Amino acid sequence: RPVNIPRKEKDFQGMLEYKKDDELKLIKNLILELKPRGVAVNLIPGLPAYILFMCVRHADYINDDQRVRSLLTSTINGIKKILKKRSDDFETVSFWLSNTCRFLHCLKQYSGEEAFMKHNTPRQNDHCLRNFDLAEYRQVISDLAIQIYQQLTKVMESVLQPMIVSGMLEHETIQGVSGLKPTGLRKRTSSIADEGTYTLDSIVRQLNNFHSIMCQHGMDPELIKQIVKQMFYIIGSVTLNNLLLRKDMCSWSKGMQIRYNVSQLEEWLRDKNLQTSGAKETLEPLIQAAQLLQVKKKTDEDAEAICSMCNALTTAQIVKVLNLYTPVNEFEERVTASFIRTIQVRLQNRKDSPQLLMDAKHIFPVTFPFNPSSLALESIQIPGSMNLGFLLRV
């Protein structure tokens, strides 16, 4: 019976040895049956990725190419399987996106390629793979990460979708504006705040929830920025598309409410230090539509100002908003047909898309900038709760 002699951390080489027959159990316990919530809160972010990589390192160390191949294939298939099973669970998808990226970063950081070794400690350089070049597998794992990113976008969209029209357009929070209704249009909802109605606060709370989950999972900051940009694009495009289809949303007071809501979203970005994410820029068409609702629309000078202001809107969108515009009181006037014609003439040289609605399903291309970790592999300990007692620290 082996005697359990406690070893010092420096004696470990940052590898995990496992029996070939235990590979299935490893995938089952580490990927298929792991609960992201418990792990995310209690353990090192990216721990599953580090564990998998330390197993790869051992297979590489013993120069067993079949074992490396088999482990990488089982890992990829295991991740795909759990994402199919919990396809609409944001926590699971976020968790495996973070871990897949961390695994990819490990494969680069310890590849032995100089470009990826710049920030390594001497000890980390000692831990580089010895026998195999896994560049082709890195490509497969990068493709897998892209798939997971697209899945995450779909999950976010399905959660946000029911909140957007209600929270960004219908619900009114600005005092003194809510009483003003476009003439001839009746309020769609009762004057008593409807229970279960989504407000801007619901959207902000949801953004906080997404953001905090991603942070708990140790998602790369650059990746969080891309995801937030995608979330804002969904909010902006769905809001604008609904505005373009609803006369009751095209009034001066709605313009004011939208601008207030957008300012709250911008404040959220500042609060999370995400101003450089490009998220705000995705709201530009919506911001301009809201401004269009509020500016004067009468003289040639007004037309010129509108044409130079609305560079993120297509001609079709500008014309549609002007056509739908509905005065809220006797001090405002409907936009005249001749004013709209003036705008059309001024914009006829623009080579923009004739499309009225934005593509709310558009997904921006994602990148995974290399983000090496300072964590020392030899210091990693596996908690008993993960049921991985069959892995031997080497």
Partner 1 sequence: STQRPRPRVLLKAPTLAEMDEMNISEEEESP
> If binding is defined by CB under 8 A, does position 52 make contact with partner 1?
no
Q: How far is the CB of 174 from partner 1 (least distance, A)?
A: 49
Q: How far is the CB of 372 from partner 1 (least distance, A)?
A: 16
Q: How far is the CB of 130 from partner 1 (least distance, A)?
A: 6
Q: Looking at beta carbons only, is 44 or 117 nearer to partner 1?
A: 117
Q: Looking at beta carbons only, is 73 or 273 nearer to partner 1?
A: 73
- Which residues 6+ apart lie within 8 Å of 75 measured at CB? 27, 31, 52, 103
> If binding is defined by CB under 8 A, does position 136 make contact with partner 1?
yes
Which part of the chain contacts partner 1 (CB under 8 A), choosing from 70-78, 91-99, 151-159, 313-321?
Answer: 70-78
Contact characters 104-123, partner 1, x per CB under 8 A: -------xxxx--x----xx
Helix (H) / strand (E) containing 51: helix 47-61
> If binding is defined by CB under 8 A, does position 139 make contact with partner 1?
yes
For the CA atoms of 194, 196, 201, 207, the dihedral, rounded to the nearest 10 degrees, stands at -160
| Residue numbers 147-166 binding partner 1 by CB under 8 A | 147
Helix (H) / strand (E) containing 392: strand 392-393
For the CA atoms of 226, 232, 233, 235, the dihedral, rounded to the nearest 10 degrees, stands at 150
Q: How far is the CB of 333 from partner 1 (least distance, A)?
A: 59
Q: How far is the CB of 135 from partner 1 (least distance, A)?
A: 7
The residue with tokens 């909802």 is 189
Token duo for residue 3: 């005697």
Q: Looking at beta carbons only, is 10 or 123 nearer to partner 1?
A: 123
Under rule CB under 8 A, how many of the chain's residues touch partner 1?
33
Query: Which residues are registered as beta bridge partners of 17?
Result: 392
Q: Looking at beta carbons only, is 40 or 144 nearer to partner 1?
A: 144
Which part of the chain contacts partner 1 (CB under 8 A), choosing from 24-32, 143-151, 314-322, 365-373?
Answer: 143-151
Q: Looking at beta carbons only, is 153 or 315 nearer to partner 1?
A: 153
Neighbouring C-beta atoms of residue 181, cutoff 10 Å: 15
Q: How far is the CB of 24 from partner 1 (least distance, A)?
A: 13
Separation CA 294–CA 285 (nearest Å): 15
> If binding is defined by CB under 8 A, does position 134 make contact with partner 1?
yes
Q: Looking at beta carbons only, is 140 or 185 nearer to partner 1?
A: 140
Separation CA 11–CA 45 (nearest Å): 24
Q: Looking at beta carbons only, is 87 or 139 nearer to partner 1?
A: 139
Long-range contact set of residues 349-354: C-beta below 8 Å, sequence gap at least 24: 350/315, 352/314, 352/315, 353/314, 353/316, 354/314, 354/316
Separation CA 61–CA 63 (nearest Å): 5
> If binding is defined by CB under 8 A, does position 215 make contact with partner 1?
no
Reference 367, options 238, 226, 266; nearest CA is 226
Q: Are the C-beta atoms of residues 29 and 48 closer than 8 Å to each other?
A: no
Interaction site with partner 1 (CB under 8 A): 60, 65, 68-69, 72-73, 76-77, 80, 111-114, 117, 122-123, 125-126, 128-137, 139-140, 143-144, 147
